[in-house]
Structure 1
Amino acid sequence: MDSFSIHRFTQRRVSQQALADWRAQDRLGADDLRAAWQSTLPAPADWRHWLDRVLLCLGTALLCAGVVVFFAFNWADLHKFSKFGLLAAALTLLAAFAARRPSGDMAGRAALAGTQIVSGVLLAVIGQTYQTGADAWQLFALWTLLATPWALAARAAPHWWIVLVLGNVALLRYCSVNLGVGGMFELLFSARWARETMLFLLGVAIVQLAVWHLLAARAGALGFRGMTGPRLIGALVCAYAGWLAAMSMLSEWVAMFGFLTSLLALAGLGAWVRWRAFDIVVLSLACMTGIGVIVMAAARVIVSIDGDFGAFLLLALLTTGLAVAAATWLLKVWRGESGSVA
């Protein structure tokens, strides 16, 4: 979705929220509300525009999946040079198609997204053909590097989402190998230095968020626009902070440094998306994670004192109260922000 469409969608959503608030305050009659609401609904042209984008993205995803399935199914029947030649030809055709399209064209950007995926398939085919014993994190790291030039060429946010996902998968896999465990789930659940590694991953995620906002302010033309990129990184920050707090509180000895670091990271993220770069989605994620962290800490204290049924009842009441308070505050913040924009 281009920046103009995103802006139009946001304005429509803000207008609807303002109309609903005015109706709730009896500042707008039912007939006036109906007429004004109709003007905020998408027109048939908007639906066609949206459907074109959705079908284009779906077609690109299916094409890339078809390439992967083709090589997986015909692996034994294809010569190694045939595999390399077919993938090189696919990359060349996609890049040539994108080069011939006008700047900012959606079909050209879809072709560049295809080149990002196919380049990773080429790396996987090379790794399977010439077994060197390299680990999967090296594949994803090289894939991230190869995907970056195509994202620079596309100058669109979705291409940077691919780079973000690949880079973070490579980082997770590297950490699991560095700790000597077999997989990423073992890193999260049973590794000896899992808490320290999660602290490192939390710091890296915070750096990623800072870099994204810096590039959005200084180099937005390169594609660092929209809300999805910061939301992906914000979700990572919340996940790492929550898991760090869980490992700190549920271990045999409470690690206060990890627990306090988790709370500080969540508070900093919440303050940033509340007052500097408002985003109700990330703010909600931070509140939800904070509730989980607080309930875990309370459970550690209450259950250690009295593990009877009453302890679980108190935890249920605490969770309900925090959820209600957070929902009320989030709704108030959202309405205030929508009213100021309107």
Structure 2
Amino acid sequence: METSSHRRAVQQALADWRAQDQLGAEDCALAWAPTMPTRSHWHQWLDRTLLILGTALLCAGVIVFFAFNWQALHKFTKFGLLAAVLTGLAALAALRPAGDMAGRAALAGAQVMGGVLLAVIGQTYQTGADAWQLFALWTLLAVPWALAARAAPHWWLPLVVGNVALLRYCSISLGVGGMFELLFSALHAREATFFLLAASVIQLVLWYLLATWAGAWGFRGVTGPRLIAVLATAYAAWVGLASLMTTHVDGIGLLVGFVALVGLGAWFRWRVFDIVVLSLVCLAGIGLVVSALGRLLFEGRGDFGAFLLLALVTIGLAAAAAAWLLRVWRDMAGRST
């Protein structure tokens, strides 16, 4: 069965050929018809959507149950109920055939319930530990379930929760109250952002190494590396912007931000094509260029003309980026067909 991404690529190629008058209307209609989803495609999509929705509602129901009945439940009752839910989910996954969607949904629920169990333990026994430790332990507990599932979506939760743990750890180690305060108002946010950028790049490298050598364990697809790339792009942009917002421009930070963005753009253009990441890299690059130009103009006491110049530069860069993205997308769609 053809994947939806392959059908979209074929449709894009047909649309381009039709727009360039390389394909007649009747021939285009005949070639377009097989790319439309069939009844079996819709059934498969509906099964997966309802299964994901049901798993999410089950996990939300367990969380709301404990929150609503917290005072009425004994602590051992809480632990026993969560252990029963985890055991039931694990048993369901073990009884289902390998690769079964219901079994994988049960494993995903077990990943979430592991975090709920840690939260209940932390609320029951107040030890003064910080939240980053909860997220770090949750990440570790989610890994065995992801290994058992051998599916890419089960690695998304460890990626997200693990990066939240890193962000929270940086805020605590620098004596900052919150994660957003770390990025926007901390005195040592520069060092923390450098660390987070390096951590995201290392994660991206590890993902592709594991995809090469251990793809059967679920390290495949575009969503996992795309999540990491979005983080890396955001951190690279913030390194550059933070370097421009200081009293004296930090040339090293600005250079690191630009180099990281260029490296990400080159990788996702020539090695692993991803139009979403390329779009974000272009957006971040435009933001850095416009910010640097604005800093230069307004340090020289720019007047209304400076705002006009910045607007023109922004429009020009956005138009150039859009044209380039459209060209590379069409080129890649043509190669895939």
Name the TM tier (shorter chain).
over 0.9
Q: Which residue of 1 aligns with 2:309?
A: 314
Deviation of the 1:67 alpha carbon: 0.7
Deviation of the 1:306 alpha carbon: 3.1
Please report the RMSD computed on the Cα atoms of aligned residues, expressed in angstroms: 0.9
Deviation of the 1:212 alpha carbon: 0.5
Say if 2:34 is the partner of 1:47. Answer: no
Say if 2:146 is the partner of 1:151. Answer: yes
Say if 2:14 is the partner of 1:19. Answer: yes
Deviation of the 1:215 alpha carbon: 0.6
> 2: distance between equivalents of 1:202 and 1:75?
39
> 2: distance between equivalents of 1:286 and 1:217?
25
1:84 counterpart letter in structure 2: F
> 1: distance between equivalents of 2:125 and 2:19?
67
Structure 2 residue corresponding to 1:304, chosen from 254, 275, 299: 299
Output one character per residue of 1:6-26: Cα deviation in whole Å (capped at 9) or x when no partner: x61121011111111111121
1:319 counterpart letter in structure 2: T
Deviation of the 1:278 alpha carbon: 1.0
> 2: distance between equivalents of 1:65 and 1:146?
19
> 2: distance between equivalents of 1:279 and 1:115?
31
Say if 2:68 is the partner of 1:73. Answer: yes
Deviation of the 1:231 alpha carbon: 0.7
Q: Which runs of 5 or more residues in structure 2 are unaligned?
A: none
Matches within 5 A, 1:101-116: 101-116=96-111
> 2: distance between equivalents of 1:22 and 1:47?
28
> 2: distance between equivalents of 1:270 and 1:65?
38
Q: Which moved more, 1:87-96 or 1:8-17?
A: 8-17
> 1: distance between equivalents of 2:117 and 2:6?
42
> 2: distance between equivalents of 1:193 and 1:295?
25
Deviation of the 1:214 alpha carbon: 0.7
Q: Which residue of 2 aligns with 1:285?
A: 280
Deviation of the 1:34 alpha carbon: 1.4
Say if 2:51 is the partner of 1:56. Answer: yes
Structure 2 residue corresponding to 1:332, chosen from 307, 327, 332: 327
Output one character per residue of 1:199-234: Cα deviation in whole Å (capped at 9) or x when no partner: 110000000001001111111000011100111011
Deviation of the 1:45 alpha carbon: 1.2
Matches within 5 A, 1:230-249: 230-249=225-244
Q: Which runs of 5 or more residues in structure 1 are unaligned?
A: none
> 2: distance between equivalents of 1:307 and 1:100?
70
Q: Which residue of 1 aligns with 2:88?
A: 93
> 2: distance between equivalents of 1:259 and 1:51?
47
Output one character per residue of 1:230-270: Cα deviation in whole Å (capped at 9) or x when no partner: 11011001110111111100111111111100000000011
Q: Which residue of 2 aligns with 1:260?
A: 255
Q: Which residue of 2 aligns with 1:186?
A: 181
TM-score (norm 1): 0.97
Deviation of the 1:133 alpha carbon: 0.3
What's the % identity of the aligned pairs? 67
SS at match of 1:253: coil
Matches within 5 A, 1:118-267: 118-267=113-262
1:20 counterpart letter in structure 2: A
Deviation of the 1:307 alpha carbon: 3.0
Q: Which moved more, 1:82-91 or 1:306-315?
A: 306-315
SS at match of 1:186: helix
2:62 counterpart letter in structure 1: V
> 2: distance between equivalents of 1:212 and 1:274?
17
Deviation of the 1:304 alpha carbon: 1.2
TM-score (norm 2): 0.99
Q: Which residue of 2 aligns with 1:38?
A: 33
SS at match of 2:175: coil
